C-alpha cells in the first residue's frame, strides 16, 4: 500500500480527537441532562461513566486503529481474518455515514443561526418558535446551509490528514476554548448567574434512578464519539510514540470540561429571564436561547449581539470538527479499499451525504408525510443509527479487544511495545471485558424497550 499519512505532533493528535468529541452533544445535550437529572449528582455519575467505560472503550478503539494503520473495516479484517468480527468494522463506517447525513443538517442550522446573529437578524421582538419552524420546514434554506457546511468539511478532508484535519483542529480547538472562556466570563455578570449555577450543580440524589445512570452512559458514549469508527480511524494515523491511555484521558478530560463550561454559559442566561423554562435539545439552542439573549442583554445590545454571535460560532465550530471526524472513516475506507484517490473518495462521500442529507431535511418539511414505522426519515436515521447500531457496535469493540485479540498484542499497543509503564493495565482489561459491555447492553435494552 502507498505510504500512509500520520498525525505530525502529540498536540495535533489530542486536538483532532478532542475536536471529534466536542460537538453539539456537549453544548446542548449535556447541560440539559445535568439540569434535569440531579445536577452535581448526575455530573458525578457521568464522570464515573467517562472514566470507567468511556476511556477503556476509547483506548480499545485506539488499539484497533493503531495496530493496523488501516481504515476501520480493513482493521477488523486484518486482526481477525475471515471471521464475523468484521461486522464491527462495517458497523463503524456505516454508522458514521448515516449519522453524518443528519449531523450536517443540524450543523447547517447552526451555520444559519451564526450568520443570522452576526447579521443582527436575531435581535428584536421575534416569535422565535415560528422563526425556527419556518426555517426548518423551508424546502431550500436548510438544504443550502447544509451544503455550504458540507463543503467546508470537504475542503478540510481533501487537504489530507496532516494538512487538513490536524492543522484545522490545531487552529479551531484553541479558538473554540477561547470563545468558551469569553462567554463564561460574560455570564458571570448576568443576574441569573447564581441561580443558573445552582440549577446545574446542586446535587439532588433523589433524582438518580437506574434510567438516569443509563442516560449518563449513553451521553458519555455519544459525547466521546465512541463506536462510530471515528476515533479508530484517527488512531490509524497515530505514530508509534503516541501514548494511547494518556491521549484517551486528555480527550475525555477536555470533552467533559467543555460540557460543564457550556452549562455555565447557558443556564445563567436562561435564569436571567423570568418565566423562561430550560428547554431541551434543539428547542433550547434555537428557540429559547435567541429569546433569552435578546431579553437578558436588552440594555446592552452590543454585548448581546457579540454574545449571541460568539455562541453560535462556538456551536458551529464544534459541529464542524465533529463532522470532519464523521467524514474521515468513510473517505479512508473508500480510498483504501476501492483504490480510488483520496480526492475522489472524499467527493463520493460528500455527494452521497448531500443527497441523503437533503432527503432527511425535506422529511421535516415537504416530505413529512413519508414515514416508516411512524418516524420521518430524519428521526428514523437517528433512531436506527444512534439507538440500535451504535450500542451494538460498542459491545462488539469491547468483546473484540477484551476477548478475541491476543492479550500480548493489546498489552504491547497500550504500553508502546513495553516502553511505557501502564500500572492499570489489568483494570483496563477488566473494564473492557466485563463492565463496559454489560453497561452498554443495559442502555441498549433500556432505550429499546422504555423509550420507543
Ligand atoms: N461527540 C460529538 C458530540 O458531542 C458527536 C459525534 C459523535 C461526533 C460521533 C462525531 C462522531 O456532539
Atom 8 of ligand 1, residue of closest alpha carbon: 322
pLDDT band at 408 (very low <50, low <70, confident <90, very high): very high
Mean pLDDT over each residue of the chain, to the nearest integer: 90
Q: Distance from the CA of 281 to the center of ligand 1, in angstroms?
A: 14
* Block residue for cell numbers 493495565: 425
Q: How far is CA 399 from CA 31, 119, 393, 435, in A?
A: 31, 51, 10, 11
Contacts 24+ apart (CB under 8 A), 282-285: 282/28, 282/106, 282/109, 282/132, 284/28, 284/32, 285/27, 285/28, 285/113, 285/315
pLDDT digits (tens, 9 = 90+) for 301-350: 898 899 999 999 999 999 999 999 999 999 999 999 999 999 999 999 99
Which atom of ligand 1 lies closest to the CA of 96? Answer: 11
Is the C-beta atom of 24 inside 6 A of ligand 1? yes
Measured CA to CA, the distance from residue 444 to residue 221 in angstroms comes to 12
pLDDT band at 372 (very low <50, low <70, confident <90, very high): low
> What is the mean predicted confidence (pLDDT) over 231-239?
97
Measured CA to CA, the distance from residue 195 to residue 187 in angstroms comes to 12
Question: What pLDDT shows up at residue 368?
Answer: 65
Is the C-beta atom of 262 inside 6 A of ligand 1? no
Q: Name the nearest CA neighbour of 91 among 235, 247, 232.
A: 232
> What is the mean predicted confidence (pLDDT) over 357-385?
71
Query: Residue 293: which residues within 8 A CB-CB, separation 6 or more?
Result: 122, 269, 304, 307, 308, 311
Q: Kindly tell me if the per-residue pLDDT of 2 is higher than 60.
A: no
3-state secondary structure of 372: strand
Measured CA to CA, the distance from residue 44 to residue 26 in angstroms comes to 16
pLDDT band at 274 (very low <50, low <70, confident <90, very high): confident
First to last CA, the chain: 45
> What is the mean predicted confidence (pLDDT) over 224-247?
96
pLDDT band at 280 (very low <50, low <70, confident <90, very high): low
pLDDT digits (tens, 9 = 90+) for 14-35: 999 999 999 998 988 898 888 8
> What is the mean predicted confidence (pLDDT) over 107-113?
96
Question: What pLDDT shows up at residue 199?
Answer: 86
Query: Residue 85: which residues within 8 A CB-CB, separation 6 or more?
Result: 76, 79, 396, 400, 404
Q: Kindly tell me if the per-residue pLDDT of 451 is higher than 60.
A: no
Q: Name the nearest CA neighbour of 236 among 6, 2, 3.
A: 6
Q: How far is CA 452 from CA 202, 281, 390, in A?
A: 31, 18, 16
Q: Name the nearest CA neighbour of 61 among 417, 428, 445, 450.
A: 428
Measured CA to CA, the distance from residue 71 to residue 75 in angstroms comes to 6
Q: Which three cell numbers stand for residue 301?
A: 445590545
Query: Residue 232: which residues within 8 A CB-CB, separation 6 or more?
Result: 61, 62, 64, 65, 72, 75, 92, 329
- Are 173 and 249 in contact by the 8 Å Cβ rule? The answer is no
Q: What is the DSSP string of 266-326?
A: HHHHHHTSTT-----HHIIIIIIHHHHHHHHTTT-HHHHHHHHHHHHHHHHHHHHHHHHHH
Neighbour tally for 48: CB within 10 Å: 15
Atom 10 of ligand 1, residue of closest alpha carbon: 322
Question: What pLDDT shows up at residue 374?
Answer: 66
> What is the mean predicted confidence (pLDDT) over 410-425?
94
- Are 436 and 224 in contact by the 8 Å Cβ rule? The answer is no
Of 111-115, 158-162, 382-386, 394-398, the range with the lowest mean pLDDT is: 382-386
Question: What pLDDT shows up at residue 276?
Answer: 79
- Are 31 and 213 in contact by the 8 Å Cβ rule? The answer is no
Measured CA to CA, the distance from residue 229 to residue 237 in angstroms comes to 13
Measured CA to CA, the distance from residue 233 to residue 326 in angstroms comes to 10
pLDDT band at 238 (very low <50, low <70, confident <90, very high): very high
Q: Distance from the CA of 45 to the center of ligand 1, in angstroms?
A: 20
Is the C-beta atom of 225 inside 6 A of ligand 1? yes
pLDDT band at 243 (very low <50, low <70, confident <90, very high): very high
DSSP state letter for 224 = T
Alpha carbon 446 to chain centroid distance? 21
pLDDT band at 390 (very low <50, low <70, confident <90, very high): confident
Query: Residue 390: which residues within 8 A CB-CB, separation 6 or more?
Result: 95, 221, 222, 227, 228
Question: What pLDDT shows up at residue 73?
Answer: 97
Which atom of ligand 1 lies closest to the CA of 230? Answer: 11
Q: Which three cell numbers stand for residue 238?
A: 497515530
pLDDT digits (tens, 9 = 90+) for 151-162: 999 999 999 999
- Are 268 and 292 in contact by the 8 Å Cβ rule? The answer is no
Is the C-beta atom of 361 inside 6 A of ligand 1? no
Q: Distance from the CA of 226 to the center of ligand 1, in angstroms?
A: 8
Q: Name the nearest CA neighbour of 245 among 427, 87, 367, 115.
A: 427
Is the C-beta atom of 228 inside 6 A of ligand 1? yes
Is the C-beta atom of 325 inside 6 A of ligand 1? yes
Half-sphere exposure of 300 (CA within 13 A, CB side): 11
Question: What pLDDT shows up at residue 371?
Answer: 63
pLDDT band at 449 (very low <50, low <70, confident <90, very high): confident
Q: What is the DSSP string of 41-100?
A: HHHHHHHHHIIIIIHHHHHHHHHHHHHHTS-HHHHHHHHSTTSTTHHHHHHHHHHHHHHH
Amino acid at each position: 500500500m502507498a505510504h500512509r499519512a500520520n498525525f505530525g505532533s502529540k498536540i495535533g493528535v489530542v486536538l483532532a480527537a478532542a475536536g471529534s468529541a466536542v460537538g453539539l452533544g456537549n453544548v446542548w445535550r449535556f447541560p440539559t441532562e445535568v439540569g434535569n437529572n440531579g445536577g452535581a449528582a448526575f455530573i458525578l455519575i457521568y464522570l464515573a461513566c467517562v472514566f470507567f467505560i468511556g476511556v477503556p472503550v476509547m483506548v480499545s478503539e485506539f488499539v484497533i486503529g493503531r495496530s493496523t494503520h488501516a481504515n476501520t473495516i480493513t482493521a477488523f479484517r486484518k486482526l481477525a481474518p475471515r471471521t464475523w468480527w468484521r461486522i464491527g468494522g462495517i458497523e463503524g463506517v456505516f454508522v458514521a455515514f448515516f449519522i453524518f447525513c443528519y449531523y450536517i443538517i443540524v450543523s447547517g442550522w447552526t451555520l444559519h443561526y451564526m450568520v443570522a446573529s452576526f447579521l443582527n437578524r436575531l435581535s428584536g421582538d421575534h416569535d422565535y418558535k415560528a422563526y425556527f419552524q419556518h426555517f426548518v420546514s423551508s424546502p431550500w434554506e436548510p438544504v443550502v446551509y447544509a451544503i455550504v457546511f458540507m463543503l467546508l468539511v470537504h475542503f478540510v478532508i481533501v487537504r489530507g490528514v496532516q494538512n487538513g484535519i490536524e492543522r484545522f483542529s490545531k487552529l479551531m480547538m484553541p479558538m473554540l476554548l477561547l470563545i468558551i472562556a469569553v462567554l463564561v466570563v460574560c455570564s458571570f455578570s448576568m443576574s441569573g448567574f447564581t441561580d443558573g449555577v445552582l440549577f446545574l450543580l446542586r446535587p439532588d440524589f433523589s433524582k438518580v434512578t437506574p434510567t438516569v445512570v443509563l442516560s449518563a452512559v449513553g451521553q458519555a458514549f455519544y459525547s466521546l464519539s465512541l463506536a462510530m469508527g471515528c476515533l479508530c480511524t484517527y488512531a490509524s494515523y497515530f505514530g508509534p510514540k503516541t501514548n494511547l491511555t494518556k491521549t484517551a484521558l486528555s480527550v475525555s478530560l477536555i470533552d467533559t470540561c467543555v460540557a460543564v463550561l457550556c452549562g455555565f454559559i447557558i443556564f445563567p442566561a436562561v435564569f436571567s429571564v423570568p418565566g423562561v423554562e430550560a428547554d431541551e435539545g434543539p428547542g433550547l439552542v434555537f428557540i429559547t436561547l435567541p429569546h433569552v439573549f435578546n431579553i437578558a442583554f436588552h440594555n446592552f445590545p452590543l454585548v448581546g449581539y457579540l454574545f449571541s454571535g460568539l455562541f453560535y460560532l462556538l456551536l458551529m465550530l464544534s459541529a464542524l470538527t465533529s463532522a470532519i471526524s464523521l467524514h474521515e472513516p468513510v473517505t479512508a475506507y473508500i480510498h483504501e479499499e476501492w483504490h480510488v484517490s483520496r480526492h475522489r473518495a472524499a467527493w463520493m462521500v460528500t455527494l452521497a451525504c448531500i443527497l441523503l442529507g437533503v432527503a432527511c431535511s425535506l422529511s421535516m418539511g415537504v416530505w413529512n408525510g413519508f414515514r416508516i414505522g411512524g418516524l420521518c426519515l430524519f428521526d428514523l436515521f437517528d433512531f436506527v443509527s444512534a439507538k440500535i447500531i451504535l450500542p451494538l457496535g460498542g459491545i462488539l469493540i469491547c468483546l473484540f479487544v477484551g476477548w478475541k485479540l491476543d492479550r500480548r498484542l493489546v498489552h504491547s499497543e497500550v504500553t508502546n511495545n513495553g516502553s511505557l509503564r501502564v500500572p492499570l493495565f489489568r483494570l483496563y482489561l477488566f473494564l473492557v471485558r466485563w463492565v463496559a459491555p454489560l453497561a452498554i447492553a443495559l442502555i441498549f435494552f433500556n432505550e429499546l424497550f422504555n423509550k420507543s
